[in-house]
């Protein structure tokens, strides 16, 4: 049912952000998504180690952190930060959701390069304003939402909460500054080390992998964004900080 209620066409967005983590489930009617607002629950952070498939015992490629923040006044923020050690690249993805607005900022920061994509939602025109800055070049464009689209981290949280049925969804492709259609299918493993785990697999129209998430309860146990690419496995905060510190020390000694 929710795939007919794509969220950027229905506000308030902050209600959607807060509601995906809590019961009762949403009340649905055409063009609107209403969710019960819980008490402020603060900050939730999850940490991950990046490795190529089948190389979990090898030196990690990097680390990632996913953070959810509930703010005063009904706003919320979702943050994804990825650090690639050898490449010396950090990718920051932040979605800020308010009652009548949405702002998404994606930044890639490298040793000698940088790129920033900023996407904002215009409620009056039902459009996305896209600004893409890389070096001296700036590209601005407008995307008509039509029936709407999900932002990536918001869609992830809806999936985590079990509020999506298998089917097609429109999702903002931040790096491309466009809207893509992805298909959700579900499975349960086999993952003998994670009893009761559920798997969400996202594919594009051409069959390529657009994301694969493994949930253990409401925790994100692992994910990958493309076939053959890095697999992120959940770790504790202490290990995350240790790996970051070791990588920083190695760079300093070069």
Q: How many CA atoms lie within 13 A of 217 on its CB side?
A: 1
Q: For residue 99, what pLDDT is reported?
A: 72
pLDDT of res. 200: 95
Q: 244: exposed, middle or buried (C-beta count within 10 Å: 0-12, 13-18, 19+)?
A: middle
pLDDT of residue 1: 32
Average pLDDT over residues 221-239: 93
Which pTM does this prediction carry? 0.79
Tens of pLDDT, residues 78-107 = 999 999 998 889 999 999 988 777 899 999
Residue 189 has pLDDT above 70, yes or no: no
In tens, the pLDDT along 134-165 reads 877 788 989 888 888 899 999 999 999 999 99
Other Cβ atoms within 10 Å of 226 Cβ, number: 11
**pLDDT tens profile 196-212:** 788 999 999 999 999 99
Residue 102 CA: distances (Å) to CA of 66, 84, 96: 19, 28, 6
The predicted structure's pLDDT at residue 156: 95
Q: How far is CA 176 from CA 78, 105, 139, 143, 157, in A?
A: 20, 13, 11, 12, 22
CA distance 157 to 16: 10
Mean of the per-residue pLDDT values for the chain? 79
């Amino acid at each position: 049912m929710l795939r007919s209620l794509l969220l950027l066409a229905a506000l308030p967005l902050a209600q959607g952000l807060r509601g995906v983590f809590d019961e009762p489930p949403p009340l649905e009617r055409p063009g609107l998504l209403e969710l019960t607002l819980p008490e402020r629950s603060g900050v939730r952070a999850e940490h991950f180690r990046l490795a190529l498939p089948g190389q979990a015992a090898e030196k990690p490629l990097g680390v990632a952190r996913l953070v959810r923040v509930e703010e005063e006044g009904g706003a919320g923020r979702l943050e994804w930060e990825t650090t690639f050690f050898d490449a010396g690249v950090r990718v920051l993805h932040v979605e800020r959701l308010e009652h009548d607005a949405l702002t998404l900022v994606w930044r890639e920061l490298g040793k000698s390069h940088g790129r920033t994509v900023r996407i904002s939602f215009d409620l009056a025109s039902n459009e996305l304003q896209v600004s893409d800055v890389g070096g001296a070049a700036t590209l601005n464009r407008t995307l008509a939402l039509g029936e709407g689209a999900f932002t990536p981290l918001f869609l992830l949280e809806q999936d985590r909460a079990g509020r999506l049925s298998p089917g097609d969804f429109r999702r903002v492709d931040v790096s491309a500054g466009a809207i893509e259609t992805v298909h959700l299918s579900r499975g349960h493993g086999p993952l003998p080390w994670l009893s009761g785990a559920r798997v969400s697999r996202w594919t594009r129209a051409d069959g390529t992998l657009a994301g694969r998430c493994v949930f253990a309860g409401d925790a994100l146990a692992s994910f990958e964004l493309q076939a053959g690419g890095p697999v992120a496995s959940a770790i504790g905060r202490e290990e995350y900080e240790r790996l970051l510190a070791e990588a920083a020390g190695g760079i300093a000694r070069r």
